[in-house]
A and B are shown apart, each in its own frame.
Chain A
Amino acid sequence: MTGEQPTVDAAVPAEPDPDALLSVRGLRITVPSGAAAVEDVSFDVHPGETLGVVGESGCGKTLTMLSVMRLLPPGTAIAGGSILLGGEDVAPMPEKQLRRLRGSKVAMIYQDPMTSLNPLMRIGDQIAEGLRAHGWSRSDARDKAIEVLGEVGIPKPQRAARAFPHEFSGGMRQRAVIACALVLDPELLIADEPTTALDPTIQQQVIDLVVQLQRDRGMAVVWVTHDLGIVARLVSRMLVMYAGRVAEAGPTREVFRRPSHPYTSGLLGALPSPGAGREDLIQMPGAPPQPGQHPAGCPFQPRCPQAIERCATDLPPLLDRGRDQGAACWVPPEDWSA
Chain B
Amino acid sequence: MLRLTDVRKGFPVRSTGEELWAVDGVSFEVERGEILGIVGESGCGKSTTAKLIVRLEDATSGSIHLDGNELVGVPDRDLGWLRRTAQLVFQDPYASLNPRLRVGAAIAEVLRVHERTRKGQEERDRVNELLGLVGLSADFAGRYPHELSGGQRQRVGIARALAVEPELLVLDEPLSALDVSVQAEIVNLLKRLRTELGLTYVFISHDLGMVRHLCDRIAVMYLGQIVEIGPWSQVADAALHPYTQALHTAVPIPDPELEAGRDARPVPGELPDPANPPPGCRFHTRCPLAEDVCRRDDPPLVRLGTDHDVACHVVAREHGVRTDGSTDPDGPSQPSDPSDRAEHP
In the complex, are the beta carbons of B254 and A282 less than 8 A apart? Answer: no
> What are the residues of chain A within 8 A of B270 when measuring CB–CB?
169, 171-172, 202
Inter-chain CB contacts under 8 Å: number: 124
Can you identify 29 A-B contacts, CB atoms within 8 angstroms?
Answer: A56-B179, A57-B179, A200-B41, A200-B206, A200-B208, A201-B246, A201-B247, A201-B266, A201-B271, A201-B286, A202-B270, A227-B252, A232-B259, A252-B256, A256-B255, A267-B181, A270-B180, A271-B209, A272-B209, A274-B209, A274-B212, A275-B237, A278-B212, A281-B184, A281-B187, A282-B184, A283-B181, A283-B188, A287-B149
Is B101 part of the binding interface, using a Cβ–Cβ cutoff of 8 Å?
no
Contact-residue size bin, chain B (C-beta under 8 Å from the other chain): 35 or more
Is B185 part of the binding interface, using a Cβ–Cβ cutoff of 8 Å?
yes
> What are the residues of chain A within 8 A of B266 when measuring CB–CB?
201, 204-205, 207-208
In the complex, are the beta carbons of B212 and A272 less than 8 A apart? Answer: yes
Q: How many residues of A contact B (CB 8 A)?
A: 44
Known A-B contacts A200-B250, A232-B254; A281 and B179 likewise in contact (beta carbons under 8 Å)? no
Is A20 part of the binding interface, using a Cβ–Cβ cutoff of 8 Å?
no
Whole-angstrom CA separation of A282 from B187 in the bound complex: 10
Min Cβ gap B216→A in Å is: 10
Which A residues lie at the B interface, using CB under 8 A?
Answer: 56-57, 169, 171-172, 199-205, 207-208, 226-234, 252-253, 256-257, 266-275, 278, 280-284, 287
Contact of B250 among A56, A204, A267, A268 (CB under 8 A): A204
Of the candidates B208, B255, B265, the one having the most CB atoms from chain A within 10 angstroms of its own CB is B255
> What are the residues of chain A within 8 A of B213 when measuring CB–CB?
272, 278, 281
Is B234 part of the binding interface, using a Cβ–Cβ cutoff of 8 Å?
no
A-B interface, 6 closest residue pairs, ranked by CB to CB distance from nearest: A229-B252, A272-B213, A270-B184, A199-B41, A281-B184, A228-B254
> What are the residues of chain A within 8 A of B197 when measuring CB–CB?
none
Is B264 part of the binding interface, using a Cβ–Cβ cutoff of 8 Å?
yes
Is B69 part of the binding interface, using a Cβ–Cβ cutoff of 8 Å?
no
> What are the residues of chain B within 8 A of A207 when measuring CB–CB?
252, 266
Min Cβ gap A98→B in Å is: 32
Contact of B247 among A200, A229, A273 (CB under 8 A): A200
